[in-house]
A and B are shown apart, each in its own frame.
Chain A
Amino acid sequence: KAGVTQTPRYLIKTRGQQVTLSCSPISGHRSVSWYQQTPGQGLQFLFEYFSETQRNKGNFPGRFSGRQFSNSRSEMNVSTLELGDSALYLCASSLSGDNTGELFFGEGSRLTVL
């Protein structure tokens, strides 16, 4: 069974640009969550999508947005990039209706903002 796939794995952008990251969840998983990982702030929750609806949102500015498609694939977008947005962005999928936090993470997309 294929795991969570994230693309691209690495990317470099400049301040003010925007970026779109993609995530394909494990087959059958309908919930997709996004996390930001930085050395200073650690792992922080961005948002969660289930059946194309955002269910929860973390404490990030409106520049961070996401969406989920009918096939459960998800994208997140960061607009007007800032240097502090440099991070590893992790996508995680889980089973629908599951009441646990058992998340299956991808390997992440490493964003560098210059």
Chain B
Amino acid sequence: QQQVKQSPQSLIVQKGGISIINCAYENTAFDYFPWYQQFPGKGPALLIAIRPDVSEKKEGRFTISFNKSAKQFSLHIMDSQPGDSATYFCAASTSGSARQLTFGSGTQLTVLP
């Protein structure tokens, strides 16, 4: 019940295209859903996060869409750039254990020039 399922495992997109990564969760107690970006040799870095009281959050080219009834959330990267090539992780946590993130398995994004 703690699992967060992420898909696809890998994604190749042309420069300027839209990258979409999906996650699904089971634990209805989750109330914080961040996305992290990780480059090789680096630790994950927070990209954008959402709480279930909103259905969408946008920050620049990055948008999270959240569907509470379906227990799904997704990351959309608009106008994808080669510099966006990295591994993306969705995650979830509860208010009572805010720093105990349950991570998805990761999506390796490659943006072709």
| Distance from B24 Cβ to chain A, minimum over Cβ atoms (Å) | 15
- A58–B43 touching, CB < 8 Å: no
B74 interfacial by beta-carbon distance below 8 Å: no
Q: Interface size of B by Cβ–Cβ distance < 8 Å?
A: 24
- B43–A94 touching, CB < 8 Å: no
- B44–A99 touching, CB < 8 Å: no
A108 interfacial by beta-carbon distance below 8 Å: yes
| Distance from B13 Cβ to chain A, minimum over Cβ atoms (Å) | 22
- B42–A107 touching, CB < 8 Å: yes
Further pairs besides A4-B43, A43-B101, A103-B99: 19, Cβ < 8 Å: A33-B100, A42-B103, A42-B105, A44-B103, A45-B100, A45-B101, A48-B100, A56-B99, A58-B100, A92-B43, A94-B98, A99-B95, A100-B98, A102-B46, A103-B44, A104-B45, A104-B46, A105-B44, A107-B42
Chain B interfacial positions (CB closer than 8 Å to A): 32, 34, 36, 41-46, 49, 89, 91, 93, 95, 97-106
Chain A interfacial positions (CB closer than 8 Å to B): 4, 31, 33, 35, 42-45, 48, 55-56, 58, 90, 92, 94, 98-108
